[in-house]
């Protein structure tokens, strides 16, 4: 009888233990961003931003995993890539915004990581001209892309991305930020995505 009661008690406690293990720990799993703001107006969405750099090898390794993860996100979640602007004239950040505004991002995002880290046809300090040549090889007008990288619109986007990263306290790339409020921590890529998923659920519950 005592053994049966012990088994029953253990069965009742296991879900609670599991929930405790899955619970997020502020300061360990994520940090609350004081005065944080979303990258773009939420408009009823939950925003997940990845701050990344094309020349960052860790971002290159993270890209296939985050790409598979974001494809499964529900309709109320908006995922955005935001290039890290560690210095104002970063050609790779310029290239990202030029590609985004000219419909080139979807077909070249992975390819640019590949060119830098696998094929090594682009250096980590590639110039605007070299990046324009990369886009030309992928079917886009190189001269148009070169010009797009140096427009006032791109200058404004660079400033906005830099402000967002500084406000969010981004120490390195890749970094995930949820709703401009939470900076994801985690030791591995899988761990960061798990934490991001839990923060999405937490925000969804708070918005109900």
Mean pLDDT of the chain: 90
- Domain count within the chain: 1
User: Residue 22 has what pLDDT?
Assistant: 61
CB 77 within 8 A of CB 193: no
Task: Give the domain extent around 61.
Answer: 2-206
| Helix and strand numbers, DSSP H then E, in the chain | 8, 5
Question: What is the tens place of the pLDDT at every residue in 161-208?
Answer: 999 999 999 999 999 999 999 999 998 999 999 999 999 999 999 887
Range 134-170 burial, b when 16+ CB lie within 10 A, else e: bbeebebebeebbebbeeeebeebbeebbebbebbeb
Q: Which CATH number goes with the domain that contains 39?
A: 3.40.30.10
């Amino acid at each position: 009888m005592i053994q049966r009661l012990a088994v029953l008690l253990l069965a009742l406690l296991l879900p609670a233990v599991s929930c405790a293990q899955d619970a997020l720990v502020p300061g360990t799993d994520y940090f609350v961003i004081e005065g944080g703001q979303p990258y773009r107006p939420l408009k009823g969405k939950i925003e997940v931003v990845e701050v990344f750099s094309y020349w960052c090898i860790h971002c290159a390794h993270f890209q296939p995993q985050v790409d598979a993860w974001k494809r499964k996100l529900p309709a109320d979640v908006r995922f955005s890539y935001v290039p890290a602007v560690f210095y104002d004239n970063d050609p790779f950040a310029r290239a990202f915004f030029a590609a985004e505004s000219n419909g080139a991002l979807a077909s070249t995002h992975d390819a640019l990581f590949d060119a830098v880290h696998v094929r090594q046809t682009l250096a980590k300090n590639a110039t605007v001209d070299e990046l324009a040549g990369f886009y030309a090889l992928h079917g886009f007008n190189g001269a148009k892309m070169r010009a797009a990288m140096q427009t006032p619109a791109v200058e404004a986007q660079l400033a906005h991305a830099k402000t967002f990263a500084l406000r969010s306290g981004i120490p390195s790339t890749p970094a995930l930020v949820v709703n401009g409020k939470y900076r994801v921590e985690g030791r591995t890529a899988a761990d960061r995505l798990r934490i991001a998923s839990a923060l999405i659920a937490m925000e969804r519950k708070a918005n109900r």
